[in-house]
Structure 1
Amino acid sequence: MKSKIIEGFSKLNKEQKINWLNQQYGGGSGDLKNILEQYWNHNADLQKLHDEFTENTISNFYLPYGIAPNFLINDEIYALPMAIEESSVVAAASKSAKFWLDKGGFKTKLLGNTKLGHIHFIYKGEGSKLLQWFNTHLKEELIKQSKDLTKNMQMRGGGIVNIELIDKSKEIENYYQIKGSFNTQDSMGANFINSCLEQFSKTFKTEFQKSNIFNEEEKNSLQIIMSILSNYTPDCMARAEVSCKIKDLKDDSGMPPEEFAWKFKQAVEIAEVEPYRAATHNKGIMNGVDSVVIATGNDFRAVEACAHTFASHKGKYTSLTHCDIKNDQFRFWLDLPISLGIVGGLTKLHPLVIASLQILNNPSAEKLMQIVAVAGLAQNFAAIRSLITTGIQKGHMKMHLTNIINQLGATEKEKKEILNIFKEKTISHHLVAAELERLRKEQ
């Protein structure tokens, strides 16, 4: 066990890191080393760029990069770049795009673009006195003393939107927040928001200690715990929706449009009230969302955290999508809280991120939010459509069949025969393995 503990790992070069891993965890055979080195980029400059994205880099981890074409969004045709390893996601999105292409396509709008951050602090004095001082003095001072930080953002149309004092002392004794609202324009804004909050914190401490309103006991009671942005952005929201006459919901399964609409709405309502279903329902939405978020170099972990928090904001986990039927009109929509950027981070560094944004016609951050919402809605539509008609496994397992064949080490000839055999048959790993074994015995 002690031999696997290493000091100064970060100081080793890449080859030394790999050699150490190969000896300690790869059995020394060289197989692990070969795998790691195989995925280096042959372009030395590009590999150096990749190495510097994060720490202790030893190789690259690739995801399939696919395209879902024919998305009609606000009367403009898009092809969506999607980075994802899961079978059927790109195909399902493409199928949804095709379904809605002659029905007006997807309509989107921005519902808000405000992002949030907080100073979390403890104060043991009188809350009303703190609030009065905040409103008459501190708020203005916070804005004034952060002007150097906000100047460039203001020139781009962004900056500080509002600053509030929030009393949370009923939830944790003596706990308060200073809540900052920000518009960060085309950047995701994490560094900007955190820099502003840290400046707020310094100003707050200084001004509080200078004030003659608070006594020494109150001044000594102030403890700033932390200053940090929030990845929950309920006021930074994009809506994507589709709608058509019920009679136009013709499905290739042969299900009558009226039945299709009714079952579809029921499926969404189940996800609205049943958390067990909502979790899987929303996971499908995030298949579409995350794949475009990753392809455009954005933070999919922040996007996931925000979406699932919003799904729980009424006290119970529920569906992110909704469906309505009125006057023979079918409407299906997604309100997605999401914070994205097209500047900063990897957006000007990673070649495939640059390519993705180019494919999307170099959108603004606000337009990208709406495109990503469309990807989530399309994915959810495809999933529910399958569930209420043919079932999810038929299409999913067809896409998964190639993975099973590859896992079993089939030759190209065997692949063709297996694909033909399972054109109409139920697919499972066991059945595919049995058929492959039969073919090999016959040969």
Structure 2
Amino acid sequence: MITPIQGFSKLTKEEKINWIAENYTKNSEHTKEVLKVYWNSDTKLQKLHDEFIENTISNYYLPLGIAPNFLINNKLYAVPMAIEESSVVAAASKAAKFWLSRGGFKTTILGTEKVGQVHFIFKGDAQKLESFFNSVKPLLISDSNNLTTSMKKRGGGISKIELRNKTTDLANYYQLHCTFETLDAMGANFINSCLEQFATTLKREALLYSNFSDTEKNIEVVMSILSNYVPNCIVRAEVSCKVEELNEDANIKSSQLAEKLVQAVTIAKVEPYRAVTHNKGIMNGIDSVILATGNDFRAIEAGIHAYASRNGTYSSLTDASIENGIFRFWIDIPLALGTVGGLTNLHPLVKVALEILQKPTAKELMQIVAATGLAQNFAALRSLVTTGIQEGHMKMHLLNILNQLGATDKEKQLLTTHFKTNTVTHSAVVTAYNNLKND
């Protein structure tokens, strides 16, 4: 029986590995070997990784690939993508190459506003609270000057502070709804520090406000925290071409392909079951660039999926149309990203990824990420409405299956050639592999 451990965080990394391997795995020596083989031989680099999080026992690797030929606003990019799923990088690359000769991706920043809130309970007269807020608002800003000085010098800072009455949703619940401009920083620490200062000022000044009763003076701040929902931090990416230029497949007319693509998007607009998978494909592209550039993919995911539900039903993030013989495909998406601070200044591969992207500003990175998501969706939809998704995906997945079977390099080469003209399924690969072994 395994017993709880006290002071696990105080153990050395070696001791942590020994304890976890010996208590939770059947072959402890194998576990130790696997965990240690992923350590970096550069002790300085390994120490850096160890200090990213707590209780580190090893490194968890994801492949870092490149999707070349992304023409975005007439500038050519090679996009770094960190992801484990087969066919994602290939699909993005194929879509980028397709649109390269059709004008590439056009992107526009529609807004860069980020949000934070002070959530508090006020048991009293709402009109008195409104008057108090109007009187204290200048102090909220001035008390945070020590936090905002450097950001303001660069053109950012606090944009707006509003009092919102949420008592129809929850008894006595109010919030300070605050917006910020954080430039090339994602800005989480900056925003949270400002919010906590707002909360301190709010509570202090309430105690001194003469128009409040004793009960009203005791404002209860529940929490002060940024929001990862940023519906006004939006980037648009789009592609377009004449309908007759859309197709490269002799088996389907360009006009039919255009109509099918629009129908596929329309279905994802009205059917949540389809929309979730449709958007997941978009996130294959977005998350992989977010990871490669050291940004927070969990925050991005949460905000984007909330945005996909903003009209009351979960729906497609992309749109498509055919007008006057022009096929147009686009996405509007919320992305709060940073190119300074956090892992962007620490992780060596993140630094390399940003250098490959020609050291983009936060706005430029928003546009690159949106274009990658759009490319991913276009590639997926084109496969779905023509050959089906499995033909391309399973061919890319072939090497994974062969690795699971323990195929040698020579066997991989022979079987890859075999499946160039045969349908890839797991059972078909196993059968072909066994037949090869028995020959």
TM-score above 0.5, yes or no: yes
2:72 paired with 1:73? yes
- How far 1:103 moved relative to its partner? 0.7
Quote the Cα distance in structure 2 between the aligned partners of 1:157 and 1:359: 27
Counterpart residue identity of residue 188, structure 1: M
For residue 239 of structure 1, what is the aligned residue in structure 2? 236
The two structures have a TM-score, normalised by structure 2, of: 0.98
Counterpart residue identity of residue 195, structure 1: S
For residue 116 of structure 1, what is the aligned residue in structure 2? 115
- How far 1:71 moved relative to its partner? 0.5
Specify the SS of the correspondent of 1:393.
helix
- How far 1:2 moved relative to its partner? 3.8
Quote the Cα distance in structure 1 between the aligned partners of 2:131 and 2:248: 62
2:282 paired with 1:285? yes
Specify the SS of the correspondent of 1:333.
strand
Number of aligned pairs? Answer: 439
Counterpart residue identity of residue 245, structure 1: K
- C-alpha distance 29-199 of structure 1, shift in aligned 2 (>3 A): closer
Specify the SS of the correspondent of 1:7.
coil
State the Cα deviation string for residues 71-124 of structure 1 (Å, max 9, x = none): 100001000000000000000000000110111100001011110000111112
Quote the Cα distance in structure 2 between the aligned partners of 1:434 and 1:38: 33
Counterpart residue identity of residue 111, structure 1: L
For residue 353 of structure 1, what is the aligned residue in structure 2? 350
Q: Among 121, 134, 140, which residue is 2:138 paired with?
A: 140
Specify the SS of the correspondent of 1:30.
helix
For residue 90 of structure 1, what is the aligned residue in structure 2? 89
- How far 1:253 moved relative to its partner? 4.9
- How far 1:219 moved relative to its partner? 1.8
- How far 1:129 moved relative to its partner? 2.0
1:241-260 aligned within 5 A:
241-260=238-257
1:17-416 aligned within 5 A:
17-27=16-26, 29-135=28-134, 137-220=135-218, 222-416=219-413
Specify the SS of the correspondent of 1:425.
coil
Q: Which moved more, 1:396-405 or 1:410-419?
A: 410-419
Structure 2 unaligned runs (5+)? none
Which runs of at least 4 in structure 1 moved beyond 4 Å after TM superposition? Answer: none
Quote the Cα distance in structure 2 between the aligned partners of 1:131 and 1:94: 54
Quote the Cα distance in structure 1 between the aligned partners of 2:118 and 2:28: 52
- How far 1:39 moved relative to its partner? 0.3
- C-alpha distance 253-202 of structure 1, shift in aligned 2 (>3 A): farther
Answer yes or no: is the 8 Å Cα contact 1:253–1:389 preserved in 2: no
State the Cα deviation string for residues 352-373 of structure 1 (Å, max 9, x = none): 1000000000000111011100
Counterpart residue identity of residue 235, structure 1: N
Quote the Cα distance in structure 2 between the aligned partners of 1:345 and 1:214: 42
Specify the SS of the correspondent of 1:140.
helix
Specify the SS of the correspondent of 1:112.
coil
Specify the SS of the correspondent of 1:166.
strand
- How far 1:411 moved relative to its partner? 1.5
Answer yes or no: is the 8 Å Cα contact 1:253–1:390 preserved in 2: no
- How far 1:214 moved relative to its partner? 1.0
Quote the Cα distance in structure 2 between the aligned partners of 1:103 and 1:131: 55
1:424-443 aligned within 5 A:
424-442=421-439
Quote the Cα distance in structure 2 between the aligned partners of 1:264 and 1:2: 55
Quote the Cα distance in structure 2 between the aligned partners of 1:217 and 1:78: 60
- How far 1:252 moved relative to its partner? 2.5
- How far 1:217 moved relative to its partner? 2.5
- How far 1:223 moved relative to its partner? 1.2
2:418 paired with 1:421? yes
- How far 1:66 moved relative to its partner? 0.2
Answer yes or no: is the 8 Å Cα contact 2:132–2:209 preserved in 1: no
- C-alpha distance 253-336 of structure 1, shift in aligned 2 (>3 A): farther
- How far 1:348 moved relative to its partner? 1.2
State the Cα deviation string for residues 213-233 of structure 1 (Å, max 9, x = none): 11112223x211110000001
Answer yes or no: is the 8 Å Cα contact 2:2–2:23 preserved in 1: no
Q: Percent identity, aligned pairs only?
A: 59
Structure 1 unaligned runs (5+)? none
- How far 1:29 moved relative to its partner? 4.2
Quote the Cα distance in structure 1 between the aligned partners of 2:424 and 2:396: 10
Specify the SS of the correspondent of 1:53.
coil
State the Cα deviation string for residues 169-208 of structure 1 (Å, max 9, x = none): 0011111110110001111100000000000000000111
Specify the SS of the correspondent of 1:163.
strand
Quote the Cα distance in structure 2 between the aligned partners of 1:53 and 1:121: 33
Quote the Cα distance in structure 2 between the aligned partners of 1:326 and 1:165: 44
Quote the Cα distance in structure 1 between the aligned partners of 2:230 and 2:58: 34
Quote the Cα distance in structure 1 between the aligned partners of 2:359 and 2:145: 30
Quote the Cα distance in structure 2 between the aligned partners of 1:38 and 1:2: 26
State the Cα deviation string for residues 104-163 of structure 1 (Å, max 9, x = none): 10000101111000011111211122112212x121110111111100100111000000
- How far 1:424 moved relative to its partner? 2.1
Quote the Cα distance in structure 1 between the aligned partners of 2:73 and 2:342: 28
Quote the Cα distance in structure 2 between the aligned partners of 1:366 and 1:76: 14
State the Cα deviation string for residues 325-359 of structure 1 (Å, max 9, x = none): 11111111111101111111111111110000000
Answer yes or no: is the 8 Å Cα contact 2:209–2:217 preserved in 1: no
The two structures have a TM-score, normalised by structure 1, of: 0.98
Quote the Cα distance in structure 1 between the aligned partners of 2:20 and 2:393: 37
Specify the SS of the correspondent of 1:62.
coil
